[in-house]
Structure 1
Amino acid sequence: MQPGSTNGTSGGGIAVPMAWLCAEYTADEMLRTAALVEPDSLEFRAGRQALALTIHLCDGADPFSGASPAAQVDEWLTVTSYGHPWPQWVQGRLADRTARERHGGEDPDLALASDAWRLLRDTELLATDLTGLEPWHPSRPADVPPDEAAQVWMPAWELGLPLGHLAIHLW
């Protein structure tokens, strides 16, 4: 009988993606605590996946990584901040992990992280156009209020990433 779980280091056991599951749990708790959107909404799912992907790729779900919790949170805030090239960062980190898997061994978390990125990238959500809502945005005329009813189709990560960033701040 095979063991019910293993971190992939024992010979022939079932490889359980513990790092991904920890990252997803942490992201879920952050978003539920922040109470920014309903937990059963598509926005919540996009935020949870974007935040879990960020946490996982920062290696922040590993309590034995040696980094202090404050340093981990600072890194998550930096990576999810406005203007950071998050999609390119994700693709680069996933490519690095894929290369290590080819040379090292099976990474049970890589498949789930890659699937999360594919879904965030390929799924589009109809949401409020966020580009003109900031009062300091240079493209917004000062005397014209933003139209919050204007909606656009956007990749799920574009909605989930700001939700994740706000959830980290409120955590």
Structure 2
Amino acid sequence: MLHRGQESTDGAGGGELTVPMAWFYAEYIAEELLRTGDLMPPTSFEFRAGRDALALTIFLADSGGELSGIRVVTQLETWLSLTAYDQPWQDWVGERMAHLTAEALEVGGPAPDLELAAAAWRWLEETELLAPDLDAVPGGGAVLGEDDGPKVWTPAWRLGLPLGHLAIHLF
């Protein structure tokens, strides 16, 4: 989302449009990781969930504000640890978003990067996708296909997060 009246990317200000480069870069990295992993069609909701969860992780892990200058390879371990199954990712995202929002309010309001991250987070929390119930144990112990077995509606982030984690591993 571009806004008038805020600083431009070169810091000149003066009513120019602000381009949310940090968010766009995080989203680009996430999409490339998922495409490289070839886990699902890029047009699917599952792909979007993985891209948004991974982009949020990348964007929010950039505490130094140097996202556009990072080298992906040096950050993979950080992203892997943040997206690991046993980590409280949802709580971490909520805390980082609250912290960044508070910082932004001190200096005049949320930047377009933060607004796009907040929109992605809302979508991940509010959208539910029908997915296999990974907590269900098949009665006979038989291996079930993708279309077999119980399915449950789950928040998009719960499906996207492991996809993002796997895509990092496959990179």
TM-score (norm 1): 0.83
Say whether the 8 Å CA contact 1:53–1:116 is kept in structure 2.
Answer: yes
Structure-1 separation of matches of 2:24 and 2:18 = 12
Structure-2 separation of matches of 1:168 and 1:82 = 13
Structure-2 separation of matches of 1:55 and 1:142 = 39
Displacement of 1:62 in angstroms is: 1.2
Gaps of 5+ in 1: 133-139
Say whether the 8 Å CA contact 1:20–1:52 is kept in structure 2.
Answer: yes
Displacement of 1:108 in angstroms is: 1.9
Say whether the 8 Å CA contact 1:127–1:152 is kept in structure 2.
Answer: yes
Matching residue of 1:9: 11
Say whether the 8 Å CA contact 1:8–1:108 is kept in structure 2.
Answer: no
Say whether the 8 Å CA contact 1:20–1:112 is kept in structure 2.
Answer: yes
State the Cα RMSD in Å. Answer: 2.4
Q: Which runs of 4+ in 1 moved over 6 A?
A: none
Residue 82 (structure 1) aligned with residue 91 (structure 2): no
Gaps of 5+ in 2: none
Q: Percent identity?
A: 50
Matching residue of 1:159: 159
Displacement of 1:26 in angstroms is: 0.5
Matching residue of 1:113: 117
Structure-2 separation of matches of 1:8 and 1:59 = 20
Structure-1 separation of matches of 2:52 and 2:29 = 11
TM-score (norm 2): 0.83
Give 3-state SS (helix, strand or coil) of 2:112's partner: coil
Displacement of 1:35 in angstroms is: 0.3
Q: Provide closer, same or farther for how the CA distance between residues 14 and 146 of structure 1 changes in structure 2, counting only shifts above 3 A.
A: same
Q: State the one-letter code of the partner of 1:7.
A: T
Residue 20 (structure 1) aligned with residue 17 (structure 2): no
Aligned residues: 159
Matching residue of 1:57: 60
Give 3-state SS (helix, strand or coil) of 1:127's partner: strand
- 1:79-117, CA deviations, whole angstroms, 9 ceiling, x for partnerless residues? 000010011000000001001101124422010000000
- 1:129-161, CA deviations, whole angstroms, 9 ceiling, x for partnerless residues? 1124xxxxxxx5997346552100000000000
Q: From 100, 114, 134, give the equivalent of 2:103.
A: 100
